[in-house]
Structures are given as C-alpha cells and as structure tokens.
Amino acid sequence: MIACFQRLRLLPRGALSNRLVPAIIACMVFLLCLAGSAALILHAGLAGFQQELAGRYTVELPADPKGPADPATIARVIDRLALDPAVLSAEPVSTGTMARLLAPWLGRDASLGDLPLPTLIDIAAVPGSTLDTAKLGAALQEVAAGATVAPAVTSLKEIGELAFAVELAALVVVLLIAACLVTVVIFATRAGLAAHLRLIEIVHQIGAFDRQIAGQFSRHFLLLGLAGGVLGFVLSGLLALAVIALAGDAQSPFLPAGTTLRSSLLPLLAVPVAVAMIAGATAELTVRRALRAQV
C-alpha cells in the first residue's frame, strides 16, 4: 500500500537542498576521512615500527686497534647465541650497513677502514620472548671478552608511550571532526526540510500517515547523504592513496608496506554509509516532529 506512494518523487529534483546538502556532507566527509586516514596510517606505521624494534637486540664486540673482530670470534659468538632458545637468528652487521648507518656523520664516501669500530651482531628474538641480556652477556664473555648484549632500542617503552600519545591526539581530532560532521549533517538536513514544510502539510492533509511522509523524506535525504558521503570519501581516498604511494617511494624502513597502509584505510568505507544513515534518520525524526506539532 505504501510502496506506490513511496515510488512517487514527492520532493522536487531541482531543490537547492539537493545540491547544498551533498556538497556540505562531501566537505565534512572529506575532512573526516582525511583525519581518519592520517590516524590510521600513523597507527599502522607506529605499530610496524614498534613491531620492527621489539625483539631486536645487538651484540657489540669491542673495537680492536688491530682491526675488526676476526671471523672465528664472530662465528663462536653466533654459535653461542644459537644455543639460547630465545634467539631466532643472529647476523653480523655488514661493513656496508655500518657505512650506511654512519653516513649522516661521516659522509657518504667516507672509508671506515681506519676507524676503530666495534663489530655488531644483530639478533632477532623468537616472537613473544625476551632475551635475558645480563645472562647472555655473561655467557658471551666465555667466547669473546668484552662482548655486551643490549636491546636495539633501549627506550622502546618511551617510544611506545609517545606513539600512544600521538595516536590518541589523532583519535581526538577524528572524534571532533566526526562530531562536527554529525552536527552539520543534522543542520543541513533540517535546513533542507524547512523548505518543504508546506509540502509536508499538504500530503498530511490528504491523509498520508506520518510514517509515509517521513519515509519519503528519510529516503530522499539518505540518498543525498550517500551521494555527498561517497564523493567526500573518494576525494579523500585519492589523496590518502597518493600519500601512501609517496611513502612507498621513500622506502623508509620505519614505514610498513603500501598494502598494509592501504588495507588500514578499509574501516573508512563505513563513513559514507554511516553519514547517509544519519541524514536519513535526521530527516525521519525531523519530519515526525514537525508532523506531531500538527493534529
């Protein structure tokens, strides 16, 4: 019974609200998705960074004036490390890697040959386990005097706290924009409806039930909200993808792979749908309230 009425396009196609509401919603969704993308990319990046650093340890064999530690000593240290069940792998840091790490201080073309550099061995711990650095250090003394073991980053806890603070700040920004978005959608929908109050009165007078009238407006504004939401989402998505592509070009070891970053944005797909539902629900509630004010 209601379907025949609902198929009628009761609301004018050329109404100003048909353009203004989606435009306003598109702007707000663009901002929300942009802030959301930044927060999600930051979260994925920091999570990857922390994961990368957690479980990494370094063995340092002290510098010898005669030159780098001899391969036999290094081999003995690695064999000893292999005996520890918490050690997943142990690899000596190559001269090339050392040169790259020191390049910011020594210059790209500097020769390391004359410098009394320590020999470093990179350890990856078994995921979820922690190395007892004191015990392992003492054991290594038997095969290489002066060898020490330390976590790759001693301030991992502080980095984690900093990451949490940054993510929290990003989340607050996202929530603030989301609150603005909901408010703007509600106001834009109400403003759009204000122009149609006479129409509501006429249809009401002819004998339409409140749910029939509210349904017409709800569907209309749901579609307007969806149009604006999708537009804003697509624009912000393109921008976010461009940023991810740039990050990929940088090949930073601290950034996760592009696919990880792209998939971290998937939750934002819900934004246009949620916005459309808010617009539809606002229209429904506003019309029902306007109708309740009448007989």
Partner 1 sequence: MVRFDNVGMRYGSGTEILRDISFRLPRGSLTYLTGASGAGKSSLLKLIYLGHLPSRGLIELFGQDIVTAPRDALPLLRRQIGVVFQDYRLIDHLSVFDNVALPLRIAGTAKADIAAHVEELLGWVGLSDKMRATPPELSGGEQQRVAIARAVITRPRLLLADEPTGSVDPELGDRLIHLFLELNRIGTTVLIATHDVAMMERHRAPVMRLIRGELSIGDH
Binding-site ranges for partner 1 (CB under 8 A):
1-2, 4-5, 8, 10, 12-14, 198-199, 201-203, 205-210, 212, 294-295
Which residues does residue 89 pair with via DSSP β-bridges, in sequence order? 124
Are 181 and 275 contacting, i.e. CB atoms less than 8 angstroms apart?
yes
- Cβ distance to partner 1 smaller for residue 80 or 220: 220
Looking at the Cβ atoms of 38 and 199, the one nearer to partner 1 is: 199
Shortest Cβ distance from residue 189 to partner 1 (Å)? 20
Dihedral (CA of 122, 57, 113, 250) sign? positive
Using DSSP's 3-state secondary structure scheme, residue 235 falls into: helix
The distance of Cα 132 from the centroid of its chain, to the nearest Å, equals 33
Smallest separation (angstroms) from partner 1 to the CB of 199: 6
Q: Are 261 and 252 in contact (CB under 8 A)?
A: no
User: What are the backbone angles phi and psi of residue 106, rounded to the nearest 5°?
Assistant: -100, -10
164/209 with CB nearer partner 1 = 209
Q: Which residues contact 51 (CB under 8 A, 6 or more apart)?
A: none
Which two structure tokens, joined as six digits, stand for 212? 């029939």
CA-wise closest residue to 190 among 275, 105, 279, 101: 279
Kindly state the smallest distance separating residue 49's Cβ from partner 1, in Å: 58
**Complex with partner 1: residue 66 or 198, whichever CB lies closer:** 198
Q: How far is the CB of 4 from partner 1 (least distance, A)?
A: 5
Q: Is residue 123 left, alpha or beta, with left meaning phi > 0 and alpha meaning psi from -120 to 50?
A: beta
How are beta strands 87-92 and 148-151 bridged, if at all?
A: unpaired
CB 260 → partner 1: shortest distance, Å? Answer: 51
Q: CB of residue 282 vs partner 1: minimum separation in angstroms?
A: 22
Phi, psi of 283 (to 5 degrees): -60, -45
Nearer to partner 1, 128 or 207 (CB): 207
Of 11 and 255, CB closest to partner 1: 11
